[in-house]
A and B are shown apart, each in its own frame.
Chain A
Amino acid sequence: MKMTMSQKILAAHAGRESVSPGELVMAKLDLVLANDITAPVAINEYRKAGAGCVFDCQKIALVMDHFTPNKDIKAAEQTKKVRDFAAEKGIVNYFDVGTVGIEHALLPERGLVVAGDLVIGADSHTCTYGALGAFSTGVGSTDMAVGMAYGKAWFKVPRAIKFNLRGKLRQWVSGKDVILHIIGKIGVDGALYKSMEFAGPGVAALSMDDRLCICNMAIEAGAKNGIFPVDDKTLQYIADHSQKKPVVFAADDDAEYDEVMDIDLGSIGSTVAFPHLPSNTRTFADMPEVKIDQVVIGSCTNGRLSDLQIAAKILKGHKIHPRVRTIIFPATQKIYLQAMKEGLLEIFVEAGAAVSTPTCGPCLGGHMGILAKGERALATTNRNFVGRMGHPESEVYLASPEVAAASALTGVITDPATL
């Protein structure tokens, strides 16, 4: 058969025994996602085409997470457009202020994606769900609109790169360091049009939060999707969060990969991506002193409970550097509540950080933490392009929650192992 895990999921959804790389196939979708920025464009297209009912009112998720709570009148008009559409079409999984979370943390938590699913989302970080053993990928609004109407999308069957993981992560090193390390090696187009398939004995030692973080940033290497094999941890996570039945696919032993890269997890140190590309990485062996004005901990990459727990462990009993505005965003309401119960929010506020409701706002320079000209932020987010978090002459450095919390205390980018 010679198929990768991603190819097998595509074949199954295209009603085919097998597929070959480069082939164009039409496949059935298990979930179609959009947010408050991309859904309005999709709804315009949907209405222009005169489409009627949606293909399945249970299999569409509309998540109002980017500019919410509505940052201005235009944003309010956009969410209203989506809210009205969701009500008109009877879309069950519509999430707004009060229930909303950052989409790629929210959907797995709500059990809307399980292993074996084929998912498209009008958001580039839709590739996150590969951590659950699903094939999920970002598309634009027109693809999403067609997906809502037909429950189908076209795919070019991707080739793949295999990342053979071994060893265990060192203390203060997490999934974010792994993916930054990989992007630093292969570049921002190193996996262009391809699947990044993670495998090997090192997988078992990675938490689900680590795997979600790693798959989240597959797009930053240009990949179509990132995907992990399904193991006991995956099945336990799905059982804890979903009523849906997972379908387990595994790569064939003779699957063909363009390249196989061996990654020793134990050799990876804390890694920081300097402006203005996620591939512009450095470790602390090679780090100039970088003073920062703002720290952001959160996002679809690193706003999960374990991210907040490790940040709290570092910040507990200390005061944040007076120059550094620190903003912490739990990714969902459930994570927010749990962080409250565990006393994490109290630790953050005592340390001098602001704690925000879930939103994508600061990550894309939307609202809630915009940078002025010449300012520098260290963020646990996923992009550091020119102007990403504000003024075109501001700078964004990407790192793990461990590095972010340590740096908030010192005011310069800091190795958490040295505290």
Chain B
Amino acid sequence: MKITGTVIRYGDNVDTDVIIPARYLNTSDHKELAAHCMEDIDATFVGRVKPGDIMVGGNNFGCGSSREHAPIAIKESGIACVVAKSFARIFYRNAINTGLAIVEFDGDIDEGDQLEIDFDKGWIRNLSKNTEGSFPPFPTFLQKIISKGGLFQAMEELA
């Protein structure tokens, strides 16, 4: 699978409280959650995000609470993939389990850059900067979860 999208960029330690503030966790409705995505660090996000955009973060993206509402809100907002230098471990699991594409990659990426990502071959091309780099593919075990469309679907084989 290959995607191309425009970058919306944030810094290090983007926590789940800013991805989806707890005051909105009284619902599990995906659309309601997406309506408040990133609200506390970027009130403009919901108004400007377009389907297929790529969210880029620094170290420890998704730190904090275990709320699966965080990857759900990002995915539902239209973001096609999150690229970060590193992910907090619960967010990493939740993204895989909910089908939000994530890539661990450390490169020179700015707000508004156009990125092309090839998930099968494991490379990222920054079309705006004319640079490219590679990232390691997911282990087979996790690829099985992704290809089956979620953990529940994969459990018949994995358990």
Does A142 sit at the interface, judged by CB under 8 A? yes
- Give the contact-size bracket for chain B: 35 or more
Q: Please, which residue of chain B has its CB at the minimum distance from the CB of A123?
A: B66
Residue B28 at the chain A interface, CB threshold 8 Å:
yes
Residues of B within 8 A of A (CB): 13, 15, 17-18, 21-23, 25-28, 39-41, 59-60, 63-69, 71-72, 86, 88-90, 93-94, 97-98, 139, 141-142, 150-153, 155, 158-159
How many Å lie between the Cα of A74 and that of B13 in the bound state? 30
Query: Is A386 within 8 A of B17, CB to CB?
Result: yes
Measured CB to CB, the closest approach of chain A to B54, in angstroms, equals 22
- Quick check: is A364 within 8 A (CB to CB) of the other chain? yes
| Alpha-carbon distance A51/B156, docked complex (angstroms) | 12
Is B141 within 8 A of A24, CB to CB?
A: yes
Task: Take A150-B159, A189-B60 as given contacts and tell me if A142 and B66 are in contact as well, using a CB distance cutoff of 8 Å.
Answer: no
Say yes or no: A140-B68 contact (C-beta < 8 A), given A74-B26, A189-B60.
yes
Q: Is A309 an interface residue (CB 8 A)?
A: no
* B17 CB contacts on chain A under 8 angstroms: 364-365, 383, 385-388
Q: A188-B60, A386-B41 are in contact. Are A78 and B26 (CB under 8 A)?
A: yes
| Residues of chain A lying within 8 A (CB to CB) of residue B66 | 38, 121-124, 126, 138-140
Q: Is the CB of B18 within 8 A of A385?
A: yes
B31 to chain A, nearest CB (A): 14
Size band of the interface chain A makes with B: 35 or more
Residues in A lying within 8 Å of B, measured CB to CB:
24, 26, 37-38, 40-41, 44-45, 48-49, 51, 66-67, 71-72, 74-75, 78, 121-124, 126, 138-143, 145-146, 149-150, 152, 154, 188-189, 192-193, 219, 222, 224, 277, 364-366, 370, 383, 385-388, 392
Taking the nearest CB of chain A, how far is it from the CB of B34, in angstroms? Answer: 14
What's the count of A-B pairs with C-beta under 8 Å? Answer: 138
Please state if A41 and B65 are interface contacts (CB–CB under 8 Å): no
User: Could you say which residues of chain A place their CB within 8 Å of the CB of B68?
Assistant: 38, 41, 122, 140-142
Closest CB in chain A relative to B76 CB, distance in Å = 13
Pick the 7 closest A-B CB pairs, nearest first. Answer: A140-B94, A74-B26, A142-B97, A140-B68, A49-B152, A364-B22, A189-B60
A364 and B69 CA atoms in complex are apart in Å by 14
Across the interface, name the chain A residue whose C-beta is closest to B94. A140
CB atoms of A140 and B90 under 8 A apart: yes
The docked-state distance in angstroms from the alpha carbon of A26 to that of B159 is: 7
Could you tell me the distance in whole angstroms from the C-beta of A97 to the nearest C-beta in chain B? Answer: 16
Least CB distance, A352 to chain B, in whole angstroms: 27
Q: Enumerate chain B residues within 8 angstroms of A222, measured Cβ to Cβ.
A: 60, 63, 88-89
A140 x B28 contact (CB < 8 A): no
Q: Cβ of B89 and Cβ of A383 under 8 Å apart? A: no
Cα separation A138 to B158 with both chains bound (whole Å): 21
